[in-house]
Chains A and B, each alone.
Chain A
Amino acid sequence: MRTARDTWFMLGRHVRNLMREPIWVVMLVIQPIIWLVLYGQLFSRVPALRGGTGTYIEFLTPGIVCMNAFFGGSWSGMAMISDLDRHVVDRFLATPTSRLAIVLSQVVRAGLIAIVQALILLGIGSALGVRVHAGLAGWLIVLAAAALLAMVFAGFSNGVALLVRREASMIATANFVSLPLMFLSSILITRTVMPGWMQTVSRYNPVNWGVDAARNAVVIGGKWGPTGVYIALLAAATAATALFATWTFRVYQRSL
């Protein structure tokens, strides 16, 4: 109860502070648009990449939604490091606030940002002729995939932040993890054009669970069974990385 309440309060703080950074808000909106337009132009000339039906922009939109979500999540530990550096975390620790809320609010924040970016991307996609074949349910699945993907990586990123507690180490880890996962996914190209070993590896890449779920909803408008499995896997992974972050938070507390 207290955890839910305090997470809500802390989330309010995060959202308010984000809104106070106008440049950040502009980047939040523009960056996904750049990805969409850039890759859309670049790869639309190679039909094999999308592996079959539809237009490339339709194939790409759910992929870019997921890419944004998991990138955003991977970097969310930076906010935790800033709060550690400025002793905001210690101030909260001297109050009876829920310890879990300090971590969870960061994770939920990442999910929330991913949803906003996903809405912007789907809106622009629609303007460029993308049709979500599964309709409203499809939109919801894309948003759920984006939110969960962001939270999976936010849990991991915050966990790392609490262990390394330094910006440079955090940046290195985020890059080290996120770039390979992106290229081992079908964000930009369909899996069938990958080499065999990559196809196998990508099956276990959480990024791909999100991409496949979102793409099923947008491009195919069906395959509810596999989509359900992917969403469930992402939910389980979110729980796992959130647990990791709460464990590293204990490690931090013990270090005081």
Chain B
Amino acid sequence: MDAIVAEGLRKRYKAVQALDGVSFAVRAGEVFGLLGPNGAGKSTTVRVLTTLTRPDEGRAFVAGHDVLRHPNRARNSFGYVAQDSGVDREATGRENLMLQGRIYGLGGAGLRARVDEVLELVGIADAADRVVRGYSGGMRRRLDIALGLVHRPSVLFLDEPTTGLDPEARAAMWVEVQRLAQQERLTILLTTHYLEEADRLANRLAIVSRGQIVVGGSPDELKRGLRGEAVTVELEDGRVAEAADVVGTFAGASETVVDGHLVRTRVPNGAQAIPGLLSALESRGIGVASVTTARPSLDDVYLHYTGRDFAAEDEEGTT
């Protein structure tokens, strides 16, 4: 059975169509990534799935419960770690967890034991009785996750789990998420605007852009789907237009673009294409400074399916 199902979700905020028909399904036990630039509709999707936001249209199920018809059944089955923490900063980590457990109807020795367990699980047991105000960003994020786990949910939503963390804390969080997925047998839906994060953590992912799912699959499938490698030619002199012409008409080359001194293209096999490409340029007397090839990245996947540059769009969505 699918642990999470979204069917035709639409949501409009005044002038912005935040969700424009989002549908996807997440299998039980997998880590599923919603990847997209800022403002693409990832968080809105999660807020619909976690019963915070009512969609204008569409249906959604979490652990088999209809989030619109039986919100409390759904809420008992998932944990939600929002992008903005929501911990009580004046309380200790343990006090936060105890209250969270109580409002899920837990109590007594069972709750105390579970709180100890999750504190241990996310690695903040030493800081459990300190007031959260004094926690580092990474520790606070771990507490957020503990809050989402205290009632033993089967599904965990992680909205931008590493945004705002330094690289070291981010790497630690990645290890944590992978471990949780295995150890706690959780279905995890995470949203991210870090391509690397999605690549690293997600078994399968869906790329979201402007309120729609553009494409879905495992990171490898998506990259293989591009069939080919990126070739970047750096020129010694300014004859870019001429060089682009040579590269663009080379057998097998596609999606050729000029970027300053660089000419980028895609070919089925980089290593085979380079000698021919170089001699073609040389025969026209165009000086080449360097040539590099790269396997396709999720960047390329995004560009291929949306026709837009991920980094530029991410920047735009932030403002």
Q: Is there contact, CB below 8 Å, between B103 and A6?
A: yes
| Given A20-B90, A93-B52, A94-B75: A87 in contact with B84 (beta carbons within 8 A) | yes
Q: Does A53 contact B (CB under 8 A)?
A: no
Residues of B within 8 A of A12 (CB): 99
Q: Does B305 contact A (CB under 8 A)?
A: no
Interface of A is mostly: helix
Q: Does A168 contact B (CB under 8 A)?
A: no
Residues of A within 8 A of B71 (CB): 96
Q: Which A4-60 residues have C-beta < 8 A from chain B?
A: 6, 9-10, 12-13, 16-17, 20-21
Measured between C-beta atoms, what is the minimum distance from A3 to chain B in Å?
A: 12
CA distance A91 to B90 in the complex (A): 16
Q: Is there contact, CB below 8 Å, between A96 and B75?
A: yes
CA distance A235 to B220 in the complex (A): 65
Q: Does B95 contact A (CB under 8 A)?
A: yes
Which residue of A13, A90, A256 contacts B86 across the interface (Cβ within 8 Å)? A90
Q: Which residue of A lies closest to B50 (CB)?
A: A94
Residues of B within 8 A of A17 (CB): 88, 90-91
Interface centre among B51, B72, B86, B91 (most CB of A within 10 A): B86
Q: Does B100 contact A (CB under 8 A)?
A: yes
Total cross-chain contacts (CB, 8 A): 64
Q: Is there contact, CB below 8 Å, between B88 and A88?
A: yes
Q: Does B89 contact A (CB under 8 A)?
A: yes
Residues of B within 8 A of A16 (CB): 91, 95
Interface centre among B76, B90, B95, B147 (most CB of A within 10 A): B90
Interface centre among A9, A10, A94, A96 (most CB of B within 10 A): A94
Q: Does A223 contact B (CB under 8 A)?
A: no
Residues of B within 8 A of A92 (CB): 103
What number of A residues sit within 8 Å (CB to CB) of B? Answer: 22
Q: Is there contact, CB below 8 Å, between A13 and B99?
A: yes
Q: Is there contact, CB below 8 Å, between A20 and B52?
A: no
Measured between C-beta atoms, what is the minimum distance from A85 to chain B in Å?
A: 9
Which residue of A86, A96, A256 contacts B104 across the interface (Cβ within 8 Å)? A96
Q: Is there contact, CB below 8 Å, between A94 and B82?
A: yes
Q: Is there contact, CB below 8 Å, between A13 and B131?
A: no
CA distance A254 to B11 in the complex (A): 12
Q: Which B77-110 residues have C-beta < 8 A from chain A?
A: 80, 82, 84-91, 95, 99-100, 102-105
CA distance A21 to B89 in the complex (A): 12
CA distance A10 to B84 in the complex (A): 20
Q: Does B295 contact A (CB under 8 A)?
A: no
Q: Does A200 contact B (CB under 8 A)?
A: no
Give B residues with C-beta under 8 Å from A: 47, 50-54, 71-72, 75-76, 80, 82, 84-91, 95, 99-100, 102-105, 131, 147
Give A residues with C-beta under 8 Å from B: 6, 9-10, 12-13, 16-17, 20-21, 86-88, 90-97, 254, 256
Please name 24 pairs of A and B residues whose Cβ atoms are closer than 8 Å in the assembled complex, sorted by A: A6-B103, A9-B103, A12-B99, A16-B91, A16-B95, A20-B90, A86-B84, A86-B88, A88-B86, A90-B52, A90-B82, A90-B86, A91-B82, A91-B86, A95-B75, A95-B100, A95-B103, A95-B104, A96-B71, A96-B72, A96-B103, A96-B104, A97-B103, A256-B47
